């Protein structure tokens, strides 16, 4: 009897270069030193400790990223992504998820346990704002560093796509300047801390009556401009810009949540659920959050105009629960903590009320669409795999249909990873953009 031997190929695990390994070691060492500062061990050398440990970690990150520049032929490399435990929901991914979730829980509800870490960033905070650091200063610093370092990785990975490079530079710029430097510089000049790139309903205080009244009562012209800017942008600016460019102008170019998702979260984009069921859940959830914040804002305004015990307690009840459930638990703890398991846009997809509003405009009153050249599609599925919003792009491409979906953030990755040039992100006449 002849025996036939069948060889089953094993997945090849990509080898890391020496420079990458050194980078990883430096990153780990920097983070270890930074975290050990929580014990107060570096009390006497705070400046050296803080800048040194964070600098070492950032430099390690850069060294880890740089070798990817020389990885052969042009094109976006996702080699091995399905075989790595960190990017394919393996043990490392779960550990990272638990770590991130735990960090957010401490940050929001038990900052006293992070006191050592928070005070270790005092030295930067005093330099920028003249005040001691809070947990939000610590968070903002780590958040911004993560976007900057992982943004460099994104730029190198997608270096053959001008669209990806431009939008990555854009989110890095808006995070560094508008979400980190400007608010802290305003504080240093005794002005209200203000984020010019966040609007209602993502930043609820922009239209909450008490916050508006407080801002209006501040001396000087700048607080008055802040009131004007927030209201105008929330009500008029956002719809107009979305009409012309789709929601991508915000979700993929400006927003800090999107910025973190597109940089730190890029290695996890393939983990988004593409099923019809998740699409259904997504629509229910994101629009429920939008209704929740609209009702809350309405109640607060009704209470500020008419007063009364019933309106007072109802508005208080709604705003407290919104702050706890959506503002903290969903956007922070789940939104970032679940990156390695559910993809990086969990918050944008299922919970962000700003994304819900932008999505409604994008679907019904926008010039944006993704066109598909169906005859060129080879059904490889790259586009669907790497769509972080769980859109089954391939299904549209196979039918040659335009993609006009409320959830599409216009990241353009589906188009960048398509080997056949099937997909194009375009702005054009509203009429006829939905294929029939």
Cα gap 3→424, rounded to integer Å: 52
**DSSP label of 424:** E
Which string of x and - marks every residue 154-183 that binds ligand SF4 (by CB under 6 A)?
------------------------------
Q: Is 383 in the site for ligand SF4 (CB under 6 A)?
A: yes
Q: Which is nearer to ligand SF4, 241 or 411 (CB)?
A: 411
Q: Is 413 in the site for ligand SF4 (CB under 6 A)?
A: yes
Stretch that binds ligand SF4, among 70-78, 92-100, 277-285, 378-386 (CB under 6 A): 378-386
Of 378, 426, 428, 432, the one binding ligand SF4 by CB under 6 A? 378
Of 203, 369, 394, 433, the one binding ligand SF4 by CB under 6 A? 394
Of 145, 150, 397, 406, the one binding ligand SF4 by CB under 6 A? 397
Q: How near is the Cβ of 355 to ligand SF4 at its closest, in Å?
A: 11
Of 391, 392, 402, 433, the one binding ligand SF4 by CB under 6 A? 391
Q: If we measure between CA atoms, which residue out of 408, 434, 181 comes closest to residue 272? A: 408
Stretch that binds ligand SF4, among 175-183, 208-216, 330-338, 408-416 (CB under 6 A): 408-416
Of 382, 392, 404, 433, the one binding ligand SF4 by CB under 6 A? 382
Of 329, 387, 404, 406, the one binding ligand SF4 by CB under 6 A? 387
Contact 196, 229 (CB under 8 A): yes
Q: Which is nearer to ligand SF4, 26 or 414 (CB)?
A: 414
Calculate Rg over the CA atoms of the chain: 23
CA distances to 40, 96, 267, 413 from 84, rounded to whole Å, are 36, 13, 10, 21
Q: H or E segment at 142? A: helix 135-157
DSSP per position, 245-312: H-THHHHTTT-HHHHHHHHTTGGGGGGS--SHHHHHHHHHHHHHHHHHHHHHHHHHHHHHHH--HHHH
CA distances to 52, 58, 280, 332, 434 from 326, rounded to whole Å, are 36, 31, 19, 9, 33
Q: Interface with ligand SF4 by CB under 6 A: which residues?
A: 377-383, 387, 389, 391, 393-394, 397, 403, 408-414, 418-420, 422-423
């Amino acid at each position: 009897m002849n025996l036939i031997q069948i060889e089953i190929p094993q997945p090849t695990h990509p080898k890391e270069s020496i420079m990458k390994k050194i980078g990883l070691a430096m990153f780990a060492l920097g983070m270890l030193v930074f975290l050990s500062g929580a014990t107060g061990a570096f009390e006497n050398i705070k400046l050296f400790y803080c800048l040194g440990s964070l600098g070492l970690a950032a430099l390690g990150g850069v060294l880890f990223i740089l070798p990817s520049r020389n990885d052969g032929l042009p094109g976006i490399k996702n080699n091995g992504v399905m075989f790595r435990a960190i990017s394919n929901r393996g043990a490392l991914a779960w550990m990272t998820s638990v770590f991130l979730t735990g960090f957010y829980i401490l940050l929001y509800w038990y900052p006293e346990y992070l006191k050592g870490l928070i005070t270790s960033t005092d030295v930067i905070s005093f330099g920028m704002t003249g005040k001691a650091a809070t947990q939000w200063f610590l968070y903002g610093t780590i958040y911004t560093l993560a976007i900057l370092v992982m943004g460099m990785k994104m730029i190198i990975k997608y270096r053959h796509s001008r669209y990806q490079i431009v939008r990555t530079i854009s989110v890095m710029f808006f995070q560094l300047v508008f979400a980190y430097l400007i608010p802290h510089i305003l504080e240093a000049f005794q002005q209200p801390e203000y984020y010019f790139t966040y609007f209602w309903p993502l930043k609820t205080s922009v239209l909450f009556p008490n916050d508006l009244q407080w801002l209006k009562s501040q001396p000087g012209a700048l607080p008055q401009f802040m009131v004007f800017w927030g209201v105008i942008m929330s009500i008029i600016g956002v719809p107009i810009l979305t009409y012309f460019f789709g929601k991508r102008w915000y979700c993929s170019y400006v927003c800090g949540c999107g910025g973190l998702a597109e940089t730190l979260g890029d290695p996890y984009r393939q983990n988004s659920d593409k099923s019809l069921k998740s699409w259904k859940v997504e629509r229910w959830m994101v629009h429920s959050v939008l209704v929740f914040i609209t009702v809350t804002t309405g109640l607060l305004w009704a209470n500020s105009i008419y007063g009364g015990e019933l309106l007072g307690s109802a508005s208080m009840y709604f705003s407290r629960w919104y702050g706890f459930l959506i503002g903290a638990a969903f956007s922070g703890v789940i939104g970032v903590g679940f990156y390695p398991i559910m993809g990086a846009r969990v918050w944008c997809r299922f919970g962000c009320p700003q994304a819900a509003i932008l999505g409604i405009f994008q679907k019904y009153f926008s010039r944006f669409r993704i066109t598909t050249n169906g005859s060129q599609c080879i059904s490889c599925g790259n586009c669907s795999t790497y769509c972080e919003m769980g859109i089954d792009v391939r299904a549209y491409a196979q039918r040659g249909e335009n993609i006009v979906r409320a959830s599409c953030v216009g990241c353009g990755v589906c188009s960048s990873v398509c080997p056949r040039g099937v997909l194009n992100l375009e702005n054009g006449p509203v009429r006829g953009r939905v294929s029939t």
